[in-house]
Chains A and B, each alone.
Chain A
């Protein structure tokens, strides 16, 4: 019975809280779009929620440790293998990869094959500010968002997926890196949509519509 109560009261969107940074902006962005997200770190909640957002700022190694302590790594892997909607934001994109160079070589969730590497030293690090996202593959996540729109970035590492067909958006900063990844119901961005003005809100709106549209009730 408590389980059903939980389901009935659920807004359907859970933002994973594993201590990595401030979630308030993500919550505010979703509220502006008319959703009332839950904040959670309960494995069952993360496993069952129709839509999960994995945000994050900070260091990859510490974040993986936190996810492991909360017993969330397997739940997140299972979500992806069951093709349940998941959005990774910033560090949340990097954590999907096989391994990160940040803090040595730290294994990550491994749901997307590839490395997380440090940005080239020629540019200032962190890569901080507004930069363009080039839509290299058409995807419904870009609905209503013009090609080369600016989004707000702040990061020192970037993900390099082995399967380039999952890379739907790229950004140039010394190199061209994957700024939007999409593979089925798994979407991830290196930028912060919650800090990227109207286009960022549109991105969240597109994701939630895609995610909820994919549910079979």
Chain B
């Protein structure tokens, strides 16, 4: 049976991991290579790196970081952040990334999804969607781009469907309402997207407890859960998360 994936997410700026990772007993907790290796050995199923570097020079750094990670970490790696062209995508895939995640650039230039899928295969094209609930007579989830700064006239469920039709092989869904609050994923949104598309959906934003992971997988019907702070701050280990999920009957890999 296909297991559900637990995916730690690392924010990387200019080749360094940002956001607290102080719990990890590493020589250099800011080194993405060392952290990736730590999570590999800790039983993570996959890793997502979000490059928040603002400069093109910094992006070159990300490629070399991925290169070094892929030398010792034998599990799937997804890299996102600031990828705008086929060349940007190719550079990271050649460096050893298995998938790239497109967010703003996919909204601004949806052809990038189809061109990437045609060239490299759908399996490596992840479309990341940041969404916020828009309360009204008929509530809906609105898509935001530019690191959540910019609302666009797109319904998240429609956009997910369209992205998949264009060739996205996976959706990385972040609830901006839930993100950072550690009060649980947006289950309603996760389920809406998961039921709308026939590709895997990774739930992101809001994980604060192990039960939150379970709810996103079980009630939200997500195929994978992404989490940052509960792992980075040492609230829980990946192994604890898996033991908890296994007890609840969720298939996980040990």
A residues at B contact (CB < 8 Å)? 21-22, 24-25, 28-29, 31-32, 57-59, 121, 123-132, 150, 152-156, 172-173, 194-198, 200-201
Residue pair A58, B121 in contact (C-beta under 8 Å):
yes
Q: Which of B49-57, B91-99, B135-143, B205-213 contacts A (4 or more CB under 8 A)?
A: B91-99
Contact residues in B for A128 (Cβ distance below 8 Å): 123, 169-170, 200, 223
Can you list 23 A-B contacts (CB < 8 A)? Answer: A21-B120, A22-B93, A24-B94, A25-B70, A29-B74, A59-B121, A123-B2, A124-B198, A124-B199, A126-B199, A128-B170, A128-B200, A129-B5, A129-B223, A130-B2, A130-B45, A130-B253, A131-B2, A150-B3, A154-B123, A195-B74, A197-B75, A201-B74
CB <8 Å contact, B72 and A32: yes
CA distance A131 to B199 in the complex (A): 16
How many residues does chain B have at the interface if contact means C-beta atoms less than 8 Å apart? 33
Contacts of B224 in A (CB 8 A): 129
A35 to B93, CA, bound (A): 23
Contacts A22-B94, A153-B2 known; 13 new A-B pairs at CB < 8 A: A21-B93, A22-B98, A24-B67, A25-B96, A28-B70, A57-B123, A126-B199, A130-B5, A150-B3, A152-B75, A152-B76, A195-B98, A197-B75
A155 to B105, CA, bound (A): 26
Query: How far is B40's CA from A85's CA once the two chains are assembled, in angstroms?
Result: 31
**Nearest-neighbor residue (CB-CB) of A90 within chain B:** B123
B70 touches A127 (CB 8 A): no
Q: Which residue of B lies closest to A125 (CB)?
A: B198
B122 near A: Cβ within 8 Å?
yes
Q: A residues within 8 A CB of B5?
A: 129-130
Measuring CB to CB, which residues of chain B are less than 8 angstroms from any residue of chain A?
1-5, 40, 45, 67, 70-72, 74-76, 93-98, 120-124, 169-170, 198-200, 223-224, 253
| Nearest opposing residue in chain A for B199, CB measure | A124
Also in contact, A24 and B70, with CB within 8 A (given A124-B199, A124-B223, A150-B3): yes
Q: How far is the CA of A23 from the CA of B4 in the complex (A)?
A: 26
> Across the interface, do A129 and B2 meet the contact criterion of CB distance under 8 Å?
yes
Q: Which of B1, B121, B200 has the most CB of A within 10 A?
A: B121
B1: A residues at CB distance < 8 A: 131-132, 172
Known: A29-B74, A131-B1. A124 touches B95 (CB 8 A): no
- CB-CB under 8 A from B96, the residues of chain A are 22, 24-25, 28
Q: Is the CB of B2 within 8 A of A173?
A: yes
Chain B residues positioned under 8 Å from A28 (CB to CB): 70-72, 74, 96
A150 touching B253 in the complex, CB below 8 Å, given contacts A128-B170, A173-B2? yes
Which residues from chain A contact B40 at a C-beta distance below 8 Å? 197
Residues of B within 8 A of A197 (CB): 40, 74-75
**Which residue in A58, A152, A156, A200 is a CB contact (below 8 Å) of B120?**
A58
Task: Point out the residues of chain A lying under 8 angstroms from B122, CB to CB.
Answer: 126, 156
Contact, CB under 8 Å: B198 / A121: yes
Given known A22-B96, A129-B2, A130-B5, contact A196–B74 (CB-CB < 8 A)? yes
